[in-house]
Amino acid sequence: MSANIIKIGPLTKVYSDGFGKNINLFENLSFDVEQKKVTVIAGGKGLGKSVLLQSISFASAVKKRPLIPTLPSSLPWLNVTENIEFNVKERNKTEISEIINFVGLEGYNDHFPNNKSIGFRFRISLARAIVNNPELILIDDSLSALSTKRRIKLFSLLRKLASDKEIPIIYTTSSVSDAVRLADKVILLSGSPAGIISQKNIFINEDLRSDVNSYFNLTDYFSEDEIKSFAF
């Protein structure tokens, strides 16, 4: 196995429907994540993408795989710096302030996240994840509630994080255009139990990705059936 590849899985998730019947959410799901790359797991709602991310996060007991859930997870009783340093024992101040600058929170060190925007709180969660020296970062469609402009800005930040800090990212979404804009690789999930129906590498110019007005022809990447399997 190459050092640049992180092997995920095989992962299986079974839950009870409460009437004695077991339901397989996904079974023996496995895929590879490349270093310095953003992998997007895409598919319709209710497929179990969030549960899949949780399974990936808690599958490794040794290496940290921080998860940023859909709803803001920065702790409202701690300020920006305290939130970021929550689980940090030894990390020098310069390094932390460099991470704060990287995520765009410079000058907000003593601000509290409550009453702040989703984007602001996402940046805190992202910085907290980076500070913990993660093997990879898992993001559960945390930016879907943002406006297109803000979302694209944060997508650029995520791509910069993956390439500059060499931390691979797994992001889930149910939006096909978001998947194409953000991903180096899109893993398309469908069916019940959920399975991988296709994996595509996406090669798009960075300027085009960060341009709000750019339009991607989705049929260049996916078949009609694959596009239909998304929930828009």
Binding site for another protein (CB under 8 A): 54, 57-58, 64-73, 75-77, 86-87, 112, 114, 125, 128-129, 132, 138
Q: Please tell me what DSSP assigns to residue 113.
A: S
To which residue do tokens 């490794």 refer? 60
Assess contact for 218 and 177: CB atoms under 8 A.
yes
**CA 60/CA 8 separation, integer angstroms:** 10
Read off the tokens for 213: 């007005």
* Shortest spacing between CB 105 and another protein, in angstroms: 17
Nearer to another protein, 77 or 215 (CB): 77
End-to-end CA distance of the chain: 36
**CA 232/CA 223 separation, integer angstroms:** 16
* Shortest spacing between CB 96 and another protein, in angstroms: 15
Nearer to another protein, 24 or 54 (CB): 54
**CA 232/CA 4 separation, integer angstroms:** 33
* Shortest spacing between CB 78 and another protein, in angstroms: 8
3-state secondary structure of 186: strand
Nearer to another protein, 66 or 168 (CB): 66
* Shortest spacing between CB 2 and another protein, in angstroms: 25
* Shortest spacing between CB 52 and another protein, in angstroms: 13
Nearer to another protein, 121 or 200 (CB): 121
